[in-house]
Amino acid sequence: MKDPLNCTLGDQLIPESSNSEYLGIILDSDLNWADNVKYTVKKAWNARHFIMRILKKGNSSNIRLAYTTLVLPILEYGAACWDPYRVGQIHALDRVQKKATKFAHHTNKSNWETLSQRRKISCICAVFKAYSGERAWKAIGDRLQRPNYLSRVYHERKIRKRTYIGKYSFLSTSRIIRLWNRLPAEILGNFPCKPNAFR
């Protein structure tokens, strides 16, 4: 009797896998970002150690430039799609930046934005792209709906919290939509959104 979990292609058995890499992002079968975070952190540590070896006597501005050029893109690649919510995963990512900050300023305090803040901005920008109907985001934008309620803080571009956009989409979580809905109306008023973005 064949195992129903395994598939065959001709005579070749296709092995079952708990995760898959797509465009540099590791997707787990249970939508946990543990493997992707682990891979990202390891790659970012290697890049940070490279900077430390090269810029041992560099000033803080050069170190920051090297960090934002070589390490930060690794930590933020595809951040609009994956946003870890577990404390351990968030700390593992933040630890890379904290070490870079200490190396640059010889202190744990700096005015650098946290990675969590930057991921939040990436997610809000992604919602805006979907809302404004950009070509790559049109499939998601077509599913956005107006809320069926009125609230004390209201703006015309609010999105229904329970909008189902797709099982594997970051926008299917109410957390990101809640961030969008809480933005001040004067900020959203400056966005060149299409008037027919909602269906």
N residues, the chain: 199
pLDDT at 149: 64
The whole-angstrom separation of Cα 117 and Cα 57 is 30
DSSP 26: E
pLDDT at 45: 94
Reported as a single tens digit per residue, the pLDDT across 136-157 is 777 777 777 776 666 666 667 7
- Whether residue 1 is predicted with pLDDT greater than 60 in this model: the reply is no
More confident residue, 173 or 41: 41
- Label residues 160-178 b or e (16+ Cβ within 10 Å = b): beebebeeebbbbeeebbe
The whole-angstrom separation of Cα 149 and Cα 31 is 30
Confidence of residue 16 (pLDDT cuts 50, 70, 90): confident
Reported as a single tens digit per residue, the pLDDT across 39-83 is 999 999 999 999 988 888 878 888 889 998 999 999 989 887 777
Cα 61 from chain centroid (whole Å): 26
Q: Which residue has the tokens 């995760």?
A: 19
8 Å CB contact between 141 and 127: no
Q: Which amino acid is at 167?
A: K
Q: What is the mean pLDDT of the chain?
A: 76
- Whether residue 199 is predicted with pLDDT greater than 50 in this model: the reply is no
Q: Where are the domains of the chain?
A: 18-112, 118-188
DSSP 116: H
Q: Which amino acid is at 18?
A: S
8 Å CB contact between 159 and 177: yes
pLDDT at 75: 92
More confident residue, 175 or 112: 112
- Whether residue 88 is predicted with pLDDT greater than 70 in this model: the reply is yes
DSSP 77: T
The residues pairing with 14 across neighbouring beta strands, listed in sequence order, are 7
8 Å CB contact between 145 and 199: yes
